[in-house]
Amino acid sequence: MSYLEAILLGLVQGLTEFLPVSSSGHMELTKAIFNQQIKEGLIVSVVLHLATALSTIVIYRRDILAIIRGLFRSERNYVFYIFLSMLPAIIVGLFFEDFIDKLFDNNILLVGLMLAITGLVLWFSDGVEKGNQKVRGFHALKVGLVQAIAILPGISRSGSTIGALVLMGVKREHATKFSFLMVLPVILGAASKKIIDFSQNTESIDVQNGPLIVGFIIAFLTGLMACQAMIFLVKKTKLRGFAYYCWSVAFLAIITFFIGL
C-alpha cells in the first residue's frame, strides 16, 4: 500500500465512520473507482477501524470513565444495555462471517441499494418530533438488531442506529452517544479476532509500517472532526442533507453498475 492509498483510505474511513453515509459502502466504492484490491486489506481495515474507535474514546472519554467508575453503581444498567445491543452483531459475525466477507467484493450494486435505504432512514428519522426518553433495555435490543443489519455495505451504522433510536422516541443526544459507544466493544472484539487470524495466516504479507501509521493518523484526526460534527448535526436536526447525499451516491453507483463502467 502506498502513502497516497493510505491517506485516501484514512480520509474515507475517518469522515464516513461517524457521518451517516456508510463507511463500508464508501470504502467499497473507493476500491471500485481505483479498480484495485489492497493486498494488505485485512490489517489495513483493522488499523483504520481502531483509529476511528480511538476517536470515539477521546470524544466520549468522560462518559466512558463514568461508566467504568460506576460499574457497580448507577451505570450498571447502561453497561447491560450496551451488552444487549452487541448480541445480534456478535451472532451475525460468528455464524455468517464467510457470507459477509463475500459481500465486500466491489459489489457496487448492493452498496447503491443499501445507500438508498440509508437515505430513507435518515429522511424519516429527521422528520419525527424530538423524543425525551433515555435508552432502555428494549431500545438496546432493537437497535442491536439494526446494527447487525448495518454490517451490509451501504447501510450506515451510525445513521441507522441513531435514526432507529430517534424513531423509538429516544432523545437525540442520548441516541447519538449510545450509538457511538455501543459499537466500541464490537470494533475492538472484531479487531482482536482479525489480528489473531492475521497472525495465524501462513501466507506472509509484507506490511509497510509507514503507510499504516499515516493512514491511522489521518483516520483518527478526521474521525475526531466527523464525530463532533455528527453530534452537532443531530442536535440541530439537519440529517436530511445526508439523505440527499446518500441517494445521489446510490444513483451513481447503480447507474455505474448497469452501464458497466
Q: What percent of the chain has pLDDT over 90?
A: 24
Taking residues 137-160, report their average pLDDT: 90
Number of domains the chain is built from:
1
Lowest mean pLDDT among 51-60, 122-131, 149-158, 243-252: 122-131
**Which contiguous run of DSSP H or E holds residue 32?**
helix 23-33
Q: Which residues pair with 170 in a beta bridge?
A: 133
Cell triple for residue 102? 463475500
The boundaries of the domain holding residue 31 are: 3-259
Does pLDDT of 72 surpass 60?
no
The answer to whether 110 and 154 are in contact (CB under 8 A) is yes
Tens-place pLDDT, residues 18-71? 888 888 888 878 777 766 555 455 677 778 888 999 999 999 998 888 877 766
Q: Specify burial of residue 258 (Cβ count, 10 A radius: 0-12, 13-18, 19+).
A: exposed
Does pLDDT of 92 surpass 70?
yes
pTM over 0.85: no
The residue among 54, 19, 62, 23 whose CA lies nearest residue 162 is 19
How many helices (H) and strands (E) the chain has is answered by: 12, 0
Tens-place pLDDT, residues 195-218? 776 666 645 445 567 888 899 999
